[in-house]
């Protein structure tokens, strides 16, 4: 198997806005506003039991005074918990339908969804908003499920209860991040993913809503079936619209790129994303925010996923992806995961390139020097070493680059990482291949002797018999006639 055909699964992009959650849940508290009273109740993180009980009693009083009629309706487990603990009004709900909300499908040409209220479970919207805020506050401390949070999330309101809504979104994000099964529950709930997409559009001017919604969809999209459902719900369009819009929020852009990155994990979705100009828009983000480490890193990871499909590499070369990758490698030379992904992109591009294209990229961007510098700076990071050797071996497919590679200390870099990571079969394989490909060069042959490459190849044969790595090591013998005549041995 050739190096360019190898596949590295990134996994999901981890949420990185913990500061936001900390800010929203800080000890300074959150104010809950009730229409029927001027006084505001300040919620802090201290004396939780007294606070919640006090607020529950106030809501109970408001419900009694509002003259609610009795109706029989199903109650969620979280509601049952509250009723049992705080002896709230038995007839809390005022619904006549099994569903709290319906989502109007048919996004048509506008790509929009419209929320329409199927039922109003409370006669007083303001009281309902206070109830949602209370529920959302509790979700961070109790094991509420996705279904319960969605029900609280979709209580009809006048559009002003952004605090409660955001708390619900953050609670859902935590659930789908910690347990992938919750992503399936979100998909299986009535229009759960469509609801996420719709809320992002509804509050598109609010950075916290858009970024949290994108992170929810990003975590869900790690699973291929769920990623397809995310696209069907319009999640890919949300991310692409963010990148093509006027937003300058780095928090939103990072989350949108992360969503595209996890969608691009799945080969079945890459062609559609490319048709929608995903590569072009991510390149624009790279160019617009050259100093933002996480936008750069996440964008490069997304491009790495695209690069795993050989046909897409041609489009990436046309858009000068290598230029952006090398620029990021220079600027963030201490970010080892970024270097690893960048090396892999360079490897895939050169595997798909013609000899002429390899020579042009190597000369214009000093690819050999950049790759070896990264390997030198990160000797203990096996990912940087493996992808670096892979990139060098694909550059070596062009005979005209043998001298450049030999003079660039390629043999030394390969031999060093083979010694340091002797238990990594893939690294041993691509390092041996690289040395075979440049063995015609007299400078490289001299370096083979200096680095005692014979012992390194023998170690590969001993440790990894009947593997691809052993085949490459044996190739080092066969290419030049075997035995003592071999240029490497």
pLDDT (tens digit, 9 = 90+) per residue, 96-115?
Answer: 222 222 222 222 223 333 33
Residue 262 backbone phi and psi in degrees, to 5: -75, -30
Q: What percent of the chain has pLDDT over 70?
A: 66
Q: What is the pLDDT of residues 45-91, one digit of tens each?
A: 334 444 444 444 444 444 444 433 333 333 334 334 433 433 323 32
- Distance, in Å, from the CA atom of 239 to the CA atom of 245, rounded to the nearest integer, reads 10
> CB–CB of 199/169 below 8 Å?
yes
Environment class of 151 (CB within 10 Å of its CB; exposed 0-12, middle 13-18, buried 19+): buried
pTM: 0.73
- Distance, in Å, from the CA atom of 163 to the CA atom of 316, rounded to the nearest integer, reads 42
Q: Which residue has the higher pLDDT, 401 or 118?
A: 401
> CB–CB of 475/436 below 8 Å?
yes
Mean pLDDT rounded to a whole number for the chain = 74
Local structure of residue 266 (DSSP, 8 states):
S
What is the structure's pLDDT at 157?
A: 61
Tell me the β-bridge partners of 116. Answer: 102
Number of H helices, E strands in the chain: 27, 4
> CB–CB of 353/361 below 8 Å?
yes
> CB–CB of 337/297 below 8 Å?
yes
Helix (H, G, I), strand (E, B) or coil at 12: coil
Using CA atoms, how far residue 130 sits from 35, 71, 165, in Å, is: 10, 21, 11
What is the structure's pLDDT at 87?
A: 31
């Amino acid at each position: 198997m050739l190096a360019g055909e190898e596949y590295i699964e990134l996994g999901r992009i981890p949420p990185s806005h913990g500061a936001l959650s900390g800010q929203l849940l800080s000890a300074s508290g959150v104010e809950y506003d009730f229409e029927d009273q001027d006084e505001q109740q300040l919620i802090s993180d201290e004396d939780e039991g007294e606070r919640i009980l006090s607020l529950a009693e106030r809501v109970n009083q408001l419900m009694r005074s509002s003259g609610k009629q009795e109706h029989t309706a199903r109650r969620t487990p979280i509601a049952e918990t509250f009723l049992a603990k705080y002896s709230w009004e038995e007839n809390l709900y005022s619904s006549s339908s099994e569903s709290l909300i319906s989502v109007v499908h048919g996004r048509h040409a506008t790509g929009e969804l419209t929320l329409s209220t199927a039922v109003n479970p409370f006669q007083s919207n303001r009281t309902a908003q206070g109830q949602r805020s209370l529920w959302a506050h509790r979700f961070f401390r109790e094991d509420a499920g996705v279904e319960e949070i969605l029900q609280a999330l979709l209580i009809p309101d006048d559009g002003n209860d952004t605090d409660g809504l955001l708390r619900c979104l953050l609670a859902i994000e935590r659930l789908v991040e910690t347990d992938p099964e919750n992503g399936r529950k979100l998909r299986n709930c009535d229009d759960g993913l469509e609801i996420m997409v719709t809320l992002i559009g509804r509050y598109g001017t609010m950075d916290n809503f858009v970024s949290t919604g994108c992170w929810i969809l990003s975590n869900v999209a790690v699973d291929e079936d769920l990623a397809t459902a995310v696209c069907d719900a319009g999640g890919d369009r949300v991310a692409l619209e963010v990148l093509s819009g006027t937003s300058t929020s780095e928090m939103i852009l990072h989350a949108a790129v992360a969503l595209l990155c996890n969608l691009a994990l799945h080969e079945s979705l890459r062609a559609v994303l490319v048709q929608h100009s995903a590569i072009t828009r991510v390149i624009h983000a790279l160019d617009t925010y050259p100093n933002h480490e996480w936008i750069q890193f996440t964008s490069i990871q997304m491009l790495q996923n695209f690069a795993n499909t050989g046909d897409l590499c041609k489009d990436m070369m046309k858009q000068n992806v290598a230029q952006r990758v090398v620029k990021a490698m220079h600027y963030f030379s201490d970010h080892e995961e970024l270097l690893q992904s960048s090396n892999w992109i360079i490897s895939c591009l050169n595997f798909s390139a013609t000899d002429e294209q390899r020579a042009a990229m190597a000369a214009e961007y000093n690819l050999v020097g950049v790759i070896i510098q990264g390997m030198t700076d990160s000797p203990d990071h096996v990912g940087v070493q493996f992808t670096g050797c892979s990139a060098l071996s694909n550059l070596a497919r062009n005979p005209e680059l043998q001298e450049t590679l030999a003079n660039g200390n390629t043999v030394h870099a390969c031999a060093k990482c083979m010694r340091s990571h002797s238990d990594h079969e893939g690294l041993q394989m691509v390092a041996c291949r690289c040395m075979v490909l440049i063995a015609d060069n007299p400078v490289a042959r001299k370096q083979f002797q200096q680095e005692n490459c014979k012992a390194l190849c023998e170690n590969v044969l001993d440790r990894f018999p009947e593997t691809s790595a052993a085949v490459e090591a044996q190739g080092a013998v066969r290419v030049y006639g075997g035995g003592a005549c071999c240029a490497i041995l």
